Amino acid sequence: MPVPPAGPGVAPPFAAPPTEGRNTRLWLGLGAGALAVLLCCGGGGAAVVGLVVTGVQAVREQGHTVSTDYYQALVERKYGAAYDQLCDDAQRRESRGEFERRVAAEPQISAFRVGEVDATTLTVPVDVTYTGGRQDRQEVVLGQDRETGGMEVCGVN
């Protein structure tokens, strides 16, 4: 007697491979992978650029603040406070007493205007007005404190 034909619900011995859309699925998978790589690398690149920009802004703000504090102390004749704004190298070159005597003997500063910090050379132009009206432009040389990371005055040209 012949074998009866398979009825409904009988599974074939193996699943037939899909024939349509093979290339489409491949390209979609490759595109999704490329997008993921691009997002990861692009995000890392954006983070690096953000850190650089933020670092430059921090240097400019700190340089402007320390220069302003230094000159404000000179205007107010608080020479000890001005000395405290100096970097370690400048303080080694000149003691507090020597600094105070030297600055007290120089023409008195009555007003000043701090310019923009050059983040590459770490210098700041400062327009100074002395008592009596004479004006001068000075350049503050900045340095970074090794302990705190903050900016300090390392010299005035």
Listed as ranges, residues in the chain with pLDDT below 70 are: 4-7, 9-22
What integer pLDDT is reported at residue 41 of this predicted model?
79
d(CA 110, CA 32): 66
pLDDT of the residue at 3: 74
pLDDT for 39 equals 80
Residue 145: what pLDDT? 87
Q: How far is the C-alpha of 35 from the C-alpha of 110, rounded, in Å?
A: 61
pLDDT on residue 12:
62
According to the model, what pLDDT value does residue 21 have?
Answer: 59
pTM above 0.85, yes or no: no
Q: Residue 61: name the closest of 53, 72, 49, 50 by CA.
A: 53
Q: Would you state the structure tokens that stand for residue 13, as one six-digit string? A: 């011995």
Amino acid at 51: L
